Amino acid sequence: MSDDLCMLTAVEAVALLRSGRVSSRELVEAALRRIEQVDPELNALPTVCAERALDRASRASPDTTLAGLPIAVKDLNDVAGVRTTYGSPIYADHVPDRSDLMVERLEQRGAVVVAKSNTPEFGAGGNTFNEVFGETRNPWDTSRTCGGSSGGSAAALASGQVWLATGSDLGGSVRTPAGFCGVVGVRPSPGRVAAGPSPLPFDTMSVEGPMGRTVADAALMLDAMAGLDARDPLSLEAPARPFADAAAAPSLPLRVAYSADLDGVTPVAAEVRDACGRAVERLAAAGVEVEQASPDLTGAPEAFQVLRGAGYVAGMEPLYATDRDRLKPDIIWNIEFGLSLSVERIAQAEQCRGAIFQRMSEFMAGYDLLLCPTACVAPFDVSTRWIREVSGVMFDNYVEWLRITSAITLTSCPVVALPCELTEQGLPVGMQLVGRPRGEWQLLSAAAAVEQVFDLAGRVPMDPRGA
């Protein structure tokens, strides 16, 4: 019975909770057994808060959005009374007194936090490893990475340890692991999910978002996350109709743009190009008009690097000043790169981002969606910290191989990442479905229909597989 419960989608599990046919406590116990069974091979959920979860489950209301459903929370987000390390040895023993805004809202709406999911130190990187807990592995092939930085969440979902999990995304931290693990991740519009408290409350590059096994699951979680919060100056009103209604009414887009490399923004490995090409052909066969086209993203890689560097200085320079020797080299590089920037260079990056947003808005007026891969490579060896070369193009830092996602970040458009194909080795390849500005409702409806065409949603959850 435990395994049967873990195989349910979040939508199915919540329906059982609301009907009284299963209790929140039963689901927590099922999750705990599944974690004990499979996580030693994956290290996706290194911190489990069983007693707290069972206590919350005993008081969960079936009349809330998630009705007592157990979830995992990324270890970048504070959960009251639960060890929260941010993947850093500096905070290895940190236990916050209160939860952050997003976690508070999720718990108010019926989520039961059962575990914290692993992340690279301070979320920096596209491979999930840190000095506190070690590396997280991919359930599809435990010799491979699950991606990052929301890699623990993605791996936990794919292996059936939880039904929903939180993610955060600056340069692809929801989208890359969703693609690598064959699950669904949503990067919402800035402000859609209230976040904080933060030293940078007006930041629009980094957002919080839901992760699930299906589009409908992710939409349900987005309903539990969305809405105004006076403590977040960018937060948006919840939609007039729930996002779950959008996923429950799948509607194929009429016309989409597709570009494997966003018109040269990044090199893309042949196996990813081939896999995404096959997926797009299936969409065309289903009646969708597919046009090879891309918005003009000139200057995106440089602008992203500059704005990211400036953001690292604003958010982390005090820690750099006191604990530089305890930060991983990638974070030191990011901060020192930011400190080297001139005012003129930062201003140029802001201007470039503004121009990209305007061009993207005009481009999307002609298409329902923009499609492109979630990563330029398939899941790689877990011991490879970052990709240094693709198709003869060399990358000189750990962020460059993520251009396919970071360029889309600059547009501020909402994105659904979902599995679209498998490589010849049987590894998942993901597709980014980019919607119009603040167009989550229409995007989720289209994504639910595209998910049916790609027909990979039933491949997870799975037991971890060796190489």
Neighbours of 263 (CB within 10 A): 16
User: Which H or E run includes 169?
Assistant: strand 164-169
Amino acid symbol at 387: I
Catalytic residue (choose from 99, 149, 259, 412): 149
Radius of gyration of the chain (CA): 20
**Cis status of the peptide bond prior to 373, with omega within 30 of 0:** no
CA 217/CA 126 separation, integer angstroms: 24
Q: Which of 196, 165, 204 is nearest to 181 (CA)?
A: 165
**Tokens read off for 248:** 């429950």
Catalytic residue (choose from 99, 153, 159, 173): 173
Going by the DSSP 8-state scheme, the letter that residue 147 receives in this structure is -
β-strand pairing of 207-212 with 184-187: antiparallel
Domains of the chain: 2-459 (3.90.1300.10)
For the chain, how long is the longest CA-to-CA vector? 62
CA 247/CA 8 separation, integer angstroms: 17
User: Which H or E run includes 362?
Assistant: helix 343-364
Annotated active-site residue 23? The verdict is no
pLDDT at 1 (0 to 100): 52
Apex CA 139: angle with CA 137 and CA 144, to 5°?
45
391: left (phi over 0), alpha (psi -120 to 50) or beta: left
Return the half-sphere exposure (C-beta side, CA atoms, 13 A cut-off) of residue 352.
Answer: 21
Catalytic residue (choose from 74, 116, 328, 445): 74
- Between the alpha carbon of residue 86 and those of residues 89, 96, 131, the distances in Å are 9, 12, 11
User: Does residue 267 contact residue 393 with C-beta atoms inside 8 Å?
Assistant: yes
Could you tell me the sign of the dihedral formed by the alpha carbons of 184, 189, 190, 194, in that order? negative
Q: Which of 399, 372, 373 is nearest to 387 (CA)?
A: 399
Annotated active-site residue 149? The verdict is yes
pLDDT tens for the chain, 467 residues: list them.
567 999 999 999 999 999 999 999 999 999 999 999 999 999 999 999 999 999 999 999 999 999 999 999 999 999 999 999 999 999 999 999 999 999 999 999 999 999 999 999 999 999 999 999 999 999 999 999 999 999 999 999 999 999 999 999 999 999 999 999 999 999 999 999 999 999 999 999 999 999 999 999 999 999 999 999 999 999 999 999 999 999 999 999 999 999 999 999 999 999 999 999 999 999 999 999 999 999 999 999 999 999 999 999 999 999 999 999 999 999 999 999 999 999 999 999 999 999 999 999 999 999 999 999 999 999 999 999 999 999 999 999 999 999 999 999 999 999 999 999 999 999 999 999 999 999 999 999 999 999 999 999 999 999 999 98
Annotated active-site residue 168? The verdict is no
In three-state secondary structure terms, 365 is coil
Q: Which of 357, 387, 391 is nearest to 264 (CA)?
A: 391
Going by the DSSP 8-state scheme, the letter that residue 398 receives in this structure is T
- The full length of the chain comes to 467
